[in-house]
């Protein structure tokens, strides 16, 4: 094996599982994160995020001494960057500051023949920017932009494509798109991924790899927007959208996705904007899909307001806060948005059920909202709003719902 020491920058939902898997394959992994809390938790063999089996793999990696976390980058043969790429609040423009900071932080630790891989989802052209930033911070080292195949530092983009909830399995089985700034960069990056990836590693140019990732998530967003638009149309036409989709999907070439309270998470609700911001005139459908999905939580809120109007003292139980089922991730969650907005309106007492968290986020706790187990919340409420199809909700006894208004945004009841 040519890679004995690999550094993973950013120990979040992608970086930590990747670091732990690499360590489980015998590589010495130095995990780097700006959060001392995350670093301390990992070094004590724990995890700071919820992902099935991650705790076991991290504990094993730390116990065997193969994984160590720190806040300061150290020399390694390869640096894998897995930091967030959010958009700037207000204008939906990509915020590349985390990537730039990561590059700045690894620059002093770099030496000739190092490989730098950008895993963060990035707008087209970011990998080239990484090379420019490296040049800025380490003018003594050459990059593929000035020295081509002969460059001191090899640089590639290899977007992560794993599904939260199945990260450990998908990290190994998914195919990887590897876009090097030169053929040699791609070859070296594939060599690294082959340590743990059983799927195929397909090489291309960095710009195509960047766009491939954005395309995958925009494709999903557009398809979910279609389902969300259908659900609103069906409500107006008094048709059960779930039955309609089941029937339509009997066609061999139709696969309508599921409507819901909106689209959340740090990927699908964000990445399509990276295409729109590059080509605003051309990306009309992609932009419209974002708007349809962003509008859906407000449609749910309108329904909640109408239902509350029927009661003198409405007690509303919201089931689920996370952006999708069986995870603890609240980022860009449409359910959070719905609960925040409704509680601000003061239209009734608001109860929250979220089995995957132990305390409410500050934005809700500061409003005096209560986090309750499912049964007491259902018993107290007269309006029940199902926002996330968590496994705990699938087995809710139907008698607990009788004589109550039920708004089921995921169609589980």
* Phi, psi dihedral angles at 332 (to 5 degrees): 55, 30
- The answer to whether 215 contacts ligand SAJ (rule: CB under 6 A) is no
Q: Which is nearer to ligand SAJ, 131 or 352 (CB)?
A: 352
- The answer to whether 123 contacts ligand SAJ (rule: CB under 6 A) is no
Which residue among 158, 185, 267, 410 is the active-site one? 267
The question of whether 234 is a catalytic residue gets the answer no
Q: Distance between CA atoms of 258 and 54, rounded to whole angstroms?
A: 28
Contact status, residue 53 vs residue 21, Cβ threshold 8 Å: no
Minimum separation from the CB atom of position 22 to ligand SAJ (A): 18
- The Cα-based distances of 256 to 267, 308, 347 in angstroms read 20, 32, 35
Q: Which residue, judged by CB position, is nearest to ligand SAJ in the bound state?
A: 267
- The answer to whether 258 contacts ligand SAJ (rule: CB under 6 A) is yes
Contact positions with ligand SAJ (CB under 6 A) in 314-343: 323-324
Element (H, E) at 334: helix 334-345
Q: Distance between CA atoms of 114 and 5, rounded to whole angstroms?
A: 11
Contact status, residue 372 vs residue 347, Cβ threshold 8 Å: no
- How many other C-beta atoms can be found within 10 angstroms of the C-beta atom of residue 168? 19
Q: Which is nearer to ligand SAJ, 82 or 102 (CB)?
A: 82
- The answer to whether 265 contacts ligand SAJ (rule: CB under 6 A) is yes
Contact status, residue 319 vs residue 393, Cβ threshold 8 Å: yes
Which residue among 213, 296, 324, 410 is the active-site one? 213
Q: Which is nearer to ligand SAJ, 43 or 258 (CB)?
A: 258
- The answer to whether 229 contacts ligand SAJ (rule: CB under 6 A) is no
- The answer to whether 122 contacts ligand SAJ (rule: CB under 6 A) is no
Q: Which is nearer to ligand SAJ, 343 or 409 (CB)?
A: 409
- The answer to whether 295 contacts ligand SAJ (rule: CB under 6 A) is no
- 30: DSSP letter: E
The question of whether 267 is a catalytic residue gets the answer yes
10 Å CB burial of residue 380 (0-12, 13-18, 19+) is middle
Q: Which is nearer to ligand SAJ, 196 or 311 (CB)?
A: 196
Which of 25, 59, 104, 220 contacts ligand SAJ by CB under 6 A? 220
- The Cα-based distances of 287 to 218, 272, 278 in angstroms read 9, 8, 12
Minimum separation from the CB atom of position 322 to ligand SAJ (A): 9
Q: Distance between CA atoms of 361 and 332, rounded to whole angstroms?
A: 13
Q: From 34-42, 177-185, 217-225, 364-372, give the range in contact with ligand SAJ by CB under 6 A.
A: 217-225
Q: Which residues bind ligand SAJ (CB under 6 A)?
A: 121, 160-164, 216-217, 220, 224, 257-258, 260, 263-265, 267-268, 323-324
Q: Supply the residues annotated as catalytic.
A: 213, 267
């Amino acid at each position: 094996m040519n890679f004995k020491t690999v550094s993973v920058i950013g120990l979040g939902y992608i970086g930590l599982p990747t670091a732990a898997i690499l360590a489980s394959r015998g590589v010495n992994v130095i995990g780097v994160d700006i959060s001392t809390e995350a670093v301390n938790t990992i070094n004590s063999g724990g995890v700071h995020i919820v992902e099935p089996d991650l705790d076991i793999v991290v504990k094993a990696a730390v116990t065997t001494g193969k994984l160590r976390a720190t806040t300061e980058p150290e020399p390694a043969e390869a640096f894998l960057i897995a930091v967030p790429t959010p958009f700037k609040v207000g204008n939906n423009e990509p915020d590349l500051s985390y990537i730039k900071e990561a590059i700045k932080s690894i620059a002093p630790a770099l030496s000739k023949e190092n490989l730098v891989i950008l895993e963060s989802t990035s707008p087209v052209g970011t990998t080239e920017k990484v090379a420019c930033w490296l040049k800025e911070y380490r003018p003594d080292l050459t990059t593929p932009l000035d020295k081509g195949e002969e460059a001191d530092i090899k640089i590639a983009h290899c977007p992560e494509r794993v599904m939260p909830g199945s990260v450990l399995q998908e990290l190994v089985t998914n195919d990887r798109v590897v876009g090097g700034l030169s053929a040699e960069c791609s070859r070296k990056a594939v060599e690294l991924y082959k340590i743990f990836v059983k799927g195929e590693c397909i090489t291309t140019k960095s710009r195509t790899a960047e766009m491939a990732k954005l395309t995958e998530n925009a494709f999903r967003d557009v398809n979910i927007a279609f389902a969300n638009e259908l659900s609103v149309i069906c409500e107006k036409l008094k048709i059960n959208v779930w039955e309609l989709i089941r029937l339509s999907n009997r066609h061999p070439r139709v696969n309508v996705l599921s409507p819901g309270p909106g689209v959340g998470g740090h990927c699908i609700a964000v990445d399509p904007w990276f295409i729109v911001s590059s080509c605003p005139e051309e990306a009309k459908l992609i932009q419209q899909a974002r708007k349809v999905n962003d509008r859906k939580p407000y449609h749910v809120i309108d329904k909640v307001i109408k239902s509350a109007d029927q009661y003198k003292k409405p007690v509303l139980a919201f089931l689920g806060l996370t952006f999708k089922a069986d995870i603890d991730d609240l980022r860009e969650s449409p359910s959070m948005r719905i609960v925040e907005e409704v509680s601000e309106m003061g239209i009734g007492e608001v109860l929250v059920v979220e089995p995957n968290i132990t305390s409410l986020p500050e934005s809700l706790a500061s409003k005096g909202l209560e986090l309750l187990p499912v049964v007491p919340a259902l018993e107290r409420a007269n309006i029940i709003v199902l926002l996330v199809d968590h496994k705990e909700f699938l087995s809710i006894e139907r008698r607990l719902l009788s004589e109550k208004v039920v708004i089921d945004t995921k169609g589980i009841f």
